[in-house]
Amino acid sequence: MNAPLSPTFLAALGALLGDRLSTSEAVCRQHGRDESIFAAMPPQAVAWPASTDEVVAVVRLCREHGVPITPYGAGSSLEGHTLAARGGLTLNLQRMDRILALHPEDLTATLQPGVTRKALNAALRDQGLFFPIDPGADATIGGMCATRASGTNAVRYGTMRENVVNLRVVTPEGEVVDTARRARKSAAGYDLTRLFVGSEGTLGVIVEATVRLHPLPEHVMAAVCAFPDAHSATAAVVQTIQMGVPVARCEFVDPVAIRAINAYSHLTLPESPHLFFEFHGSEAGVKEQVDLVADTVAEHGGQGFEWAATPEARTRLWEARHNVYFAALQLRPGCRSIVTDVCVPISRLADCLVQTADDLKASGLIAPMVGHVGDGNFHVQMLVDEAQPAEVHAAEALNERLVRRALAMDGTCTGEHGIGLHKQGFLVEEVGSAGVDLMRRIKAALDPQGLMNPGKVFAPLA
Amino acid sequence: MNAPLSPTFLAALGALLGDRLSTSEAVCRQHGRDESIFAAMPPQAVAWPASTDEVVAVVRLCREHGVPITPYGAGSSLEGHTLAARGGLTLNLQRMDRILALHPEDLTATLQPGVTRKALNAALRDQGLFFPIDPGADATIGGMCATRASGTNAVRYGTMRENVVNLRVVTPEGEVVDTARRARKSAAGYDLTRLFVGSEGTLGVIVEATVRLHPLPEHVMAAVCAFPDAHSATAAVVQTIQMGVPVARCEFVDPVAIRAINAYSHLTLPESPHLFFEFHGSEAGVKEQVDLVADTVAEHGGQGFEWAATPEARTRLWEARHNVYFAALQLRPGCRSIVTDVCVPISRLADCLVQTADDLKASGLIAPMVGHVGDGNFHVQMLVDEAQPAEVHAAEALNERLVRRALAMDGTCTGEHGIGLHKQGFLVEEVGSAGVDLMRRIKAALDPQGLMNPGKVFAPLA
């Protein structure tokens, strides 16, 4: 049980924020739940700061009163990142949602953390530019920085790691730091930008992000094709990547996910393993890529290489792909998801994915599998009835086997979802206790009071 | 004056390394000088470890005896990184020069730190792969990681920031840590890899690096063209980048540098501002890029868009470009160089470069200017007579104005050379004292005794 927040603290915070502070149970409950299966962990208060100055003031007040802070974007993270594990204050950054500067000539935009990826792309459209990082949900830029998000375009355009130019952060001590300048590259000191990208809110609050934009491709083609089995589909992917074809998207969708998508998005794809491709470039460039990939697909038994050349057909396809999470939930009404993701070197993808498919089949769980397979990254969404401990246990055991399989193949316990509350033990297996010790030291050095998103990334010390 | 190394320490080190330890004055002197203009700072001993285990043992001995450690690769850094600012032991890693694993199917190679970029590319050639990062010198991979190096290909392929998959490091306490796995992406905890990339040897010793490889382009074209002035040349670059043309290389060479290159590499280019381009892709893709760039060049008054389509002609061109540093030294026999580099957002490149050219002209110094201008990055090499304090002072004043100009344009004080001893004050101007304070805390947390490359990156506290 968390100690109640002191009346002095709440009064000071209220004076600062007015009605942008709430201690209502409903509001706190709403912020204490996410897409993960963890029990609710509500904060004791929720604040909606509207400026960097307000974030500074709030962080300083929290510091003075020893109150934990949990930064909160869209609440769409999957590993429990935004749950208030030690109570305290949740900092909802959704009102800081302005595009502060657009530099089309430099291909950069400077954003407040509450701008969502869809809002950004809507604002960019008439500039002929886009921002490629697309986790399933319409996440906020701040949250995407904090979890080192990626998505379907990462195989060509990189992840948040490659697409954040600099950040403005409020440190746990209430200082404002710009992690870098707006130049494309720099060798000036430690890479603070990359340190904060993926730090899951444990090192400070991201209050501005400058991100890289990309010119909208001149020509786009998308294609869908069905494969006899998961192995042939992944073999086609591996060959495509190894040939150096600059595919923009290359997604695996397993038969269970296809069933979910068909029902949810009114499609009629055959219920077999599929690859969804997208190609970007000049007309001639796209044609070259398509020819190479069509041959590769055919070589591996791919069928019905179907084109979605119009923008409408493409949008329909990718919306279906993006909605797979919600579509899957409909396969078992009332269920919750345990979602996990791993990423392995591409040479091990076929083995890892096929062994996992076998394991899923043997488990009896309904668990669609999709993946950004061009990166060697795939997800399993295990649908469970929370009220059935045996099911939850089976799903967790499956996750454990999957992660260990990926680690044994020199892969990572999470390609893009992050550690949060769920994978703290696996992080130790991945980088060793000496590696985690380095991370803990950095955490302690920057946040000596341990108030920033406490309980995340690191398992409690024994 | 540094305290002499204790006989116990030297005896223990000697027992470990045998004749791979030297305290000879000549050897120490040789390791105490680099390409920078700093006075010699020799270590008191030099060790050549041959394995990770030996590095661990050496680091532990140094820790026990409080002896500073300066890691040393090819000794080609430009800002004093490898000078033994506090004496102690220089760790020469040149004997750890094996390619440990090549995974062509994953486009990665795992290397000991002493492998040089040319040795790596020689080994890759028959695999149809290459490693694109190419600082002027034949630097070692360990040094390139430590300084976050880039070079002429970075505009297309990224810098060491984007091309290091993971590192194995020996921490200041003698622990071995793998910063990540071999997957292309990961969201597992803090980005230790990116923390060590660019840390200039101040956080530990890099003993292995896994880097990303790239397929050799199917088709390559290179071109050289002369411009009436620096402004028109940079304007052509800016337009090329803004159109999204994926140029592989895009280099600015000023008239003084052209004069140096002509003499050194037996070329006959007109002494005017030049751009050197290289294009990679399929035959059709390269043709598309070339057509776009040729139009852009013509639009900005570029003359004599001259092709170097044969491998021999291309090699000659890029060797001339890579040798510009040594070529420039010949412009004034007996001189030393003060080399500096800045990087600005591409929209500010023309202003920054032209103002700098004017400033150089007014200074009367011989100072060729070249740049990886596709990234907004350029270098000035000021040739000075060390014995003339007024000249050195004028060069430093010019550097100061250049860096402040870049910072005022939201650029960085160094795009690729690093901080070393030379730019410590500018780092504070760039990220503020609060930003440097975060870096100092990380340093203190990981290296509490302050033994790893002491005196670098951070200015002494007042």
φ and ψ of B32, to 5 deg: -100, 10
pLDDT band at A309 (very low <50, low <70, confident <90, very high): confident
> Are the Cβ atoms of B438 and A192 closer than 8 angstroms?
yes
How far apart, in whole angstroms, are the C-alpha atoms of residue A214 and residue A225? 28
> Are the Cβ atoms of B345 and A184 closer than 8 angstroms?
yes
Q: Torsion-angle region of residue A459: left (phi > 0), alpha (psi -120 to 50) or beta?
A: beta
Residue B119 structure tokens: 């040795």
> Are the Cβ atoms of B185 and A377 closer than 8 angstroms?
yes
| H helix count then E strand count, chain B | 16, 18
Pick from A78, A186, A427, A457 the residue to mutate for testing the B interface (most B CBs within 10 Å): A186
Residue A368 structure tokens: 């669609």
| Nearest neighbour of B182 by CB, restricted to A106, A175, A410 | A410
Q: What are the distances in angstroms from CA A239 to CA A346, B103, B217?
A: 10, 14, 17
Q: B414: closest CA among B363, B455, B380, B364?
A: B380
Pick from A144, A190, A290 the residue to mutate for testing the B interface (most B CBs within 10 Å): A190
How close B79 gets to chain A, by Cα (Å)?
11
Q: What are the distances in angstroms from CA A348 to CA A251, A295, A316, A407, B166?
A: 16, 22, 31, 11, 17
For residue B128, the chain A residue with the least C-alpha distance is A243
Using the predicted structure, report yes or no on whether residue A462 has a pLDDT greater than 70.
no
**Residue A3 pLDDT:** 85
> Are the Cβ atoms of B432 and A288 closer than 8 angstroms?
no
> Which chain A residues are closer than 8 Å to B346 by Cβ?
105-107, 184
> Which chain A residues are closer than 8 Å to B438 by Cβ?
171, 177, 190, 192, 446
> Which chain A residues are closer than 8 Å to B410 by Cβ?
181-183
For residue B373, the chain A residue with the least C-alpha distance is A184
> Are the Cβ atoms of A198 and B179 closer than 8 angstroms?
no
Q: Which stretches within B141-282 are classed as H helix?
A: 141-147, 154-157, 160-163, 192-196, 230-242, 255-265
> Are the Cβ atoms of B195 and A190 closer than 8 angstroms?
yes
- Mean pLDDT (chain A) is 95
How close B271 gets to chain A, by Cα (Å)?
30
Q: Torsion-angle region of residue B203: left (phi > 0), alpha (psi -120 to 50) or beta?
A: alpha
**Residue A304 pLDDT:** 77
How close A420 gets to chain B, by Cα (Å)?
9
> Are the Cβ atoms of B410 and A343 closer than 8 angstroms?
no
Using the predicted structure, report yes or no on whether residue A330 has a pLDDT greater than 70.
yes
How close B40 gets to chain A, by Cα (Å)?
23
Q: What is the b/e burial string over A333-360, where b = at least 16 CB atoms within 10 angstroms of the residue's CB?
A: eebbbbbbbbbbbbbbbbebbbebbebb
> Are the Cβ atoms of B438 and A171 closer than 8 angstroms?
yes
> Which chain B residues are closer than 8 Å to A437 by Cβ?
175
Which range has the worst mean pLDDT, A113-117, A134-138, A448-452? A134-138
> Are the Cβ atoms of A415 and B187 closer than 8 angstroms?
yes
Extract the runs of DSSP E, i.e. beta strands, from B282-368: 303-308, 336-343
For residue A407, the chain B residue with the least C-alpha distance is B181
> Which chain B residues are closer than 8 Å to A438 by Cβ?
171, 177, 190, 192, 446
Residue A27 structure tokens: 């509001």
Terminal-residue alpha carbon distance, chain B: 20
Complex confidence, ipTM: 0.97
> Are the Cβ atoms of B192 and A445 closer than 8 angstroms?
no
pLDDT in tens, A386-436: 999 999 999 999 999 999 999 999 999 999 999 999 999 999 999 999 999
> Are the Cβ atoms of A184 and B107 closer than 8 angstroms?
no
Which range has the worst mean pLDDT, A58-62, A304-308, B312-316? A304-308
> Which chain B residues are closer than 8 Å to A175 by Cβ?
434, 437
The arithmetic mean of pLDDT across residues B94-110, rounded, is 97
The sheet with strand A89-92 has its strands ordered as: A21-22, A45-47, A89-92, A69-72
- Using a 10 angstrom Cβ sphere, with 0-12 exposed, 13-18 middle and 19 or more buried, the burial of residue A281 is buried
Using the predicted structure, report yes or no on whether residue B258 has a pLDDT greater than 90.
yes
**Residue B190 pLDDT:** 98
How far apart, in whole angstroms, are the C-alpha atoms of residue A222 and residue A240? 15
> Are the Cβ atoms of B347 and A103 closer than 8 angstroms?
yes
A153, containing H or E segment: none
**Residue B6 pLDDT:** 97
> Are the Cβ atoms of A187 and B418 closer than 8 angstroms?
yes
pLDDT in tens, A413-424: 999 999 999 999
Q: A395: closest CA among A405, A380, A409?
A: A380
> Are the Cβ atoms of A186 and B343 closer than 8 angstroms?
yes
Residue B106 structure tokens: 């994953």
3-state secondary structure of A94: coil
Using the predicted structure, report yes or no on whether residue A317 has a pLDDT greater than 80.
yes
Yes or no: say if A34 and A82 are a contact pair by the CB < 8 Å rule. yes
How close B154 gets to chain A, by Cα (Å)?
9
For residue A191, the chain B residue with the least C-alpha distance is B195
> Are the Cβ atoms of B190 and A243 closer than 8 angstroms?
no
Q: Could you tell me the pTM of the whole model?
A: 0.97
What percent of chain A lies above the pLDDT cut of 70?
A: 100
CB-defined contacts A:B, below 8 A: 282
Q: Which stretches within A7-103 are classed as H helix?
A: 7-17, 25-31, 52-65
Using the predicted structure, report yes or no on whether residue B271 has a pLDDT greater than 90.
yes
The arithmetic mean of pLDDT across residues A354-374, rounded, is 96
> Are the Cβ atoms of B181 and A407 closer than 8 angstroms?
yes
**Residue B462 pLDDT:** 63
Q: Which residues pair with A167 in a beta bridge?
A: A209
How close A416 gets to chain B, by Cα (Å)?
5
How close A241 gets to chain B, by Cα (Å)?
9
How close A79 gets to chain B, by Cα (Å)?
11
**Residue A288 pLDDT:** 93
Amino acid identity, position A437: D
For residue A422, the chain B residue with the least C-alpha distance is B188
> Which chain B residues are closer than 8 Å to A441 by Cβ?
445-446
Q: Residue written as tokens 């470039």?
A: A281
How close B455 gets to chain A, by Cα (Å)?
13
| Nearest neighbour of B412 by CB, restricted to A158, A181, A412 | A181
| H helix count then E strand count, chain A | 16, 18
Angle at A232 between CA A227 and CA A236, to 5 degrees: 95
The arithmetic mean of pLDDT across residues A5-14, rounded, is 98
**Alpha carbon B40 to its chain's center:** 21
> Are the Cβ atoms of B197 and A178 closer than 8 angstroms?
no
Residue A409 structure tokens: 């193949």
Q: How many CB atoms lie within 10 A of CB A243?
A: 13
> Which chain B residues are closer than 8 Å to A79 by Cβ?
none
For residue B408, the chain A residue with the least C-alpha distance is A181
pLDDT in tens, A16-30: 999 999 999 999 999
3-state secondary structure of B282: coil
For residue B172, the chain A residue with the least C-alpha distance is A438
**Residue B313 pLDDT:** 87
3-state secondary structure of A169: strand
pLDDT in tens, A213-247: 999 999 999 999 999 999 999 999 999 998 889 99
3-state secondary structure of A322: helix
Q: What are the distances in angstroms from CA A385 to CA A107, B203, B218?
A: 46, 47, 53
For residue B426, the chain A residue with the least C-alpha distance is A188
